[in-house]
Amino acid sequence: MESTDLNHYKTLVARLPQLRNEIGKVIIGQQEVISEVLISLLAGGHCLLEGVPGLAKTLMVKTMADALAMKFKRIQFTPDLMPGDIVGTEILEEDHETGKKFFQFNKGPIFANVVLADEINRTPPKTQAALLEAMQEYKVTYGGNDYALPRPFLIIATQNPIEQAGTYPLPEAQLDRFLLYIKLSYPSEREELDVLKSTTGTKRPVLSTVLSDEDILNLQTLTRQVHISDELIAYINRLVRATRPQDTPVAYVKQWCDWGAGPRAGQALVLCAKARAVLNERFSVIPEDIQTLAYPVLRHRIALNFRADAEGITTDTVIKELIASVK
């Protein structure tokens, strides 16, 4: 990396704490969740947010988009939502000069930089699948034509962990497309008190734009250039392989898991560890990056058996045991 490029990147990286501060003007607490969403953005992936109603999931995503001046769209998923409502449809137009009629593709809300797929588990699989190509290929195919999505492009899907009756759980193949599975918890007493004080008056915070679209694309390029040693890559490989009951040396996994993570989990863990290094203004990955991000990277890529469900064992419990066992 040339010195001029390095100086430019250092300038961009130095703005990341300012970005977190801007988001913090609106979102109180949830620092770990905000970090994981930003890591997903820097790594060029998508994330799934799970939390009970009222934890400001939608507000958090909208605030991040505002601080980055990125085009934001929210899609409320419902049982009657159709794929065309997401990707767009063709409409019949008429040329007023010639009188000829033609079909014009009318782009749907997926054509934005940040797309919030709200309550994604409340819509049928046919509509959920409409997101798959967009998430993986960064394009939409309609009527035999390809339409490129804007870059940077980030899908953040939310789901409610309660009231599961009548919902459509995401299939494993689609879950695997999400880089991170982020869980939101209730705020602390102090944080909740601050929420009550700051959100029930007339004052509204004014956000400043910290980074542009081009800056984010440059940071995504930088993320892939961050150094990670061969030893840490080998550690990630051992960690991912240890999630598979047929290969694992960890008895805990054999006891509680049906199947483990695939190679995509290793790729995700490497990229996310690099992104966390950038977010913390470092240009090299350390073991803490890997161990911290093992939870959101692996929790949706491990399937527990019926016995684990009955005993109240969670995927986070398994991951904690993995980190303690794999050296």
CATH code, 266: 1.10.8.80
* 214 plus 256 within the same structural domain: no
The domain boundary residue, chosen from 210, 225, 240: 225
* 107 plus 139 within the same structural domain: yes
pTM assigned to the model: 0.89
Q: Tell me what pLDDT residue 41 has.
A: 92
Alpha carbons 216 and 43: distance in angstroms, whole number: 10
pLDDT of residue 167 exceeding 90, the answer is no
Our CA angle for 158, 290, 294, nearest 5°, is 40
* 220 plus 246 within the same structural domain: no
Q: Is the backbone peptide bond immediately before 152 cis, with ω within 30 degrees of 0?
A: yes
pLDDT of residue 230 exceeding 90, the answer is yes
- Using an 8 Å Cβ cutoff, are 269 and 294 in contact? yes
Q: Read off the pLDDT of each residue in 162-189 and give the average, rounded to a whole number.
A: 81
* Alpha helices by DSSP H, 115-161: 125-128, 130-137
Range of the domain at 297: 227-326
As for how many domains the chain has, the answer is 2
* 68 plus 162 within the same structural domain: yes
Q: Read off the pLDDT of each residue in 304-323 and give the average, rounded to a whole number.
A: 88
The domain boundary residue, chosen from 209, 225, 241: 225
Terminal Cα distance for the chain, rounded:
32
Q: Pairing relation of β-strands 145-148 and 139-142?
A: antiparallel
Mind listing the pLDDT tens digit for each residue in 115-161? 998 888 888 888 888 887 788 888 888 878 888 899 999 999 988 87
pLDDT of residue 209 exceeding 90, the answer is no
* 220 plus 236 within the same structural domain: no
**DSSP letter at 206?**
P
* 215 plus 279 within the same structural domain: no
18: left (phi over 0), alpha (psi -120 to 50) or beta: alpha
- Using an 8 Å Cβ cutoff, are 54 and 108 in contact? no
* 37 plus 178 within the same structural domain: yes
Mind listing the pLDDT tens digit for each residue in 69-105? 888 999 998 888 888 888 888 887 777 777 787 777 8
Q: Read off the pLDDT of each residue in 178-204 and give the average, rounded to a whole number.
A: 83
CA dihedral of 56, 42, 156, 112, whole degrees rounded to 10 = 110
The domain boundary residue, chosen from 182, 202, 225: 225
